[in-house]
Amino acid sequence: MNKFLQFLTMGLVFALGATTTVSAAAGPDPVIGTWTLNLAKSTYHADRAPKSMTRTYSAGAGGTDLKATGVAADGSAVSQSATFTYDGKDCAMTGVSDFDTVTLTKVNGSTVKGVLKKGGAVVGHTTRTISGGGKVLTLTTSLKTAKGGTTHEVAVYDKQ
């Protein structure tokens, strides 16, 4: 085999190996699955704590799909949905009165930072972490209130 062919073959082997390594390192999104709110471990501002909440994340064609259902503090039904892309672009979120888009960026394999917007204006920030061997999802959120203050909430979910 001539040197050019050896060089080409080595380059191809290296390229395929590097692609496999990158794909394996990225791995599946650890948020995929069903998560149930653990009210005993969560902290909500005043009367904002829901009575129950379940979040289901699944891999979709356009990104990671979220479907959240539950019962709000006032007893009304909660139904929220979004498709997250983690690329720093606004993702529409339905069923939430405090914001209408979320802009997400992955920090690492277990942490995602988000900017919450309503009508294009930033109204809050959130951080989603997965810990406990992939069994605990924590959403730490700060939101502007109608009176000009800020709420700080920590919602802890257990994987089902």
| Amino acid, single-letter form, for residue 59 | A
C-alpha to C-alpha distance for 29 and 8, rounded to whole angstroms: 34
* Contact between 48 and 150 (Cβ < 8 Å): no
Query: What pLDDT, in 10s, does the model give residues 112-140?
Result: 999 999 999 999 999 999 999 999 999 99
pTM passes above 0.95:
no
Domain ranges, ordered by start, for the chain: 1-27, 31-159
* Contact between 97 and 120 (Cβ < 8 Å): no
Query: What pLDDT, in 10s, does the model give residues 57-98?
Result: 999 999 999 999 999 999 999 999 999 999 999 999 999 999
C-alpha to C-alpha distance for 58 and 34, rounded to whole angstroms: 9
Q: Is 57 exposed, middle or buried (0-12, 13-18, 19+ CB in 10 A)?
A: buried
pLDDT of 7 > 70? The answer is no
| Amino acid, single-letter form, for residue 127 | T
Q: Which residues of 72-83 are buried (b: 16+ CB within 10 A; e: fewer)?
A: eeeeeebeeebe
31-159 homologous superfamily: Calycin beta-barrel core domain (2.40.128.20)
